[in-house]
Amino acid sequence: MMIKKFINWQSYLFFLCAIVFFSCKNNKKPDVSNINLDIKVERFDHDLYAGKGKDITATHAFLEKKYGAFYDDFIHQMVGNSSYTGVAVLEGLYKDKAYTDLTQEVDSVFPNLNKVDRELTEVFKYIKYYYPKAEIPRFIAFVSGFAYQTPIGDNYLGIGLDMFLGKDSKFYAALVESLPQYLTRKFTPEYIVPRVSEYYVRENLIKEQDQDRSLLSKMIYNGKILYFMEQVLPEATPDTVKIGYTSQQLSWCKTFEPEIWAYFMENNLLYNTDYSKIQVYLSDGPFTPGIGEKRESAPKLGVWIGWQIVKQYMKQHPDVTLKQLMAEKDAQKILSDSRYKPKG
């Protein structure tokens, strides 16, 4: 599919500014000031590195006692495997100059996590407002050597700080084969809270159903996740960060929204359940093959369109609560009742 379109850019920019202005005016978040919550990310990376040059057996015992299930997963899954003891893994890490260099780089970028603490506290106050019974896990920062970004385990959610050093980190440039640029450009500090929040919501609040196999079902599921994130993330969080687009990719989607939707309809994609054929519209990548010119299209177009459908549905039904939206399992109902029909 080749997409071409002429745009009056002055009118377009004015229209976008108007949307931003009025959406800000009408965005009334609930008052969560009475919710008692104060999240502090635990610095496993500091505690581990503090043991260098000291008695390793004592350090192992200290980390095992303090971090429990997380420490066991760190030793046996993240940096080692079941054949290694905790002491053996610690010995290896302390002797590894590359791990030492990486840990020092992490500490220089993140001498503290005060901003992350504040933002996570705000996010989870909203989550507790909508889901009072939601259990808040321990948040544990660590360094795994680019193996894990946000692992979720028994009562913990990990934050792999080495996966948020900034897109220009010298370490990412050296790992270009295993970590392509379209991924590493999102390995920046501003992505920590959105990604942690997203994975928590996906794993703990709104799990995808096994029967949701059609492209439409997956579009709506992902659209609901993004809509939920809009309601709980700090207001200054850009849409580009929520979905992981560049500003150019987001602009491309807004410009060609009618053509993207027409492409899905014309190719009978909405009810296709063959994942090998629909995953290209759901997965991350540098662009979407087969759509647009010169590889300028955005990736995961199904996710983005799903987000627009859900937003339109909630606009059409202001009486529907966020929790009711999340509980609605009928993707076709959301599409039909949204009256979604982007205009060119």
If you average pLDDT over residues 139-151, what whole number do you get? 96
Task: Report yes or no: 292 and 306 within 8 Å, Cβ to Cβ.
Answer: no
pLDDT over threshold 90, residue 10? no
pLDDT over threshold 80, residue 322? yes
Task: Please give the Cα distance from 310 to 225 (Å, whole number).
Answer: 10
pLDDT over threshold 60, residue 6? no
Nearest residue to 187 via CA among 208, 158, 162: 162
CB neighbours of residue 269 within 10 Å: 17
pLDDT at 77: 94
Band (pLDDT 50/70/90 cuts) for residue 210 is confident
| Longest CA–CA separation in the chain, Å | 68
Average pLDDT over the chain, rounded to whole?
Answer: 91
Q: Tokens 């059609």, residue? A: 214
If you average pLDDT over residues 216-238, what whole number do you get? 97
If you average pLDDT over residues 133-147, what whole number do you get? 96
pTM of the prediction? Answer: 0.89
Q: Tell me, what amino acid is at 295?
A: R
Tens of pLDDT, residue by residue over 57-115, are: 999 999 999 999 999 999 999 998 889 999 999 999 999 999 999 999 999 999 999 99
- HSE-CB at 163 with a 13 A cutoff on CA atoms is 23
What does the DSSP assignment read for 50-80? TTTTS-HHHHHHHHHHHHHHHHHHIIIIISS
DSSP β-ladder status, 42-43 and 138-142: parallel
Tokens matching residue 220: 């709506």
pLDDT at 292: 86
Question: 3-state class of 204 per DSSP?
Answer: helix
pLDDT at 27: 53
pLDDT over threshold 50, residue 344? yes
Task: Report yes or no: 123 and 192 within 8 Å, Cβ to Cβ.
Answer: no
pLDDT at 211: 86
Task: Report yes or no: 181 and 112 within 8 Å, Cβ to Cβ.
Answer: no
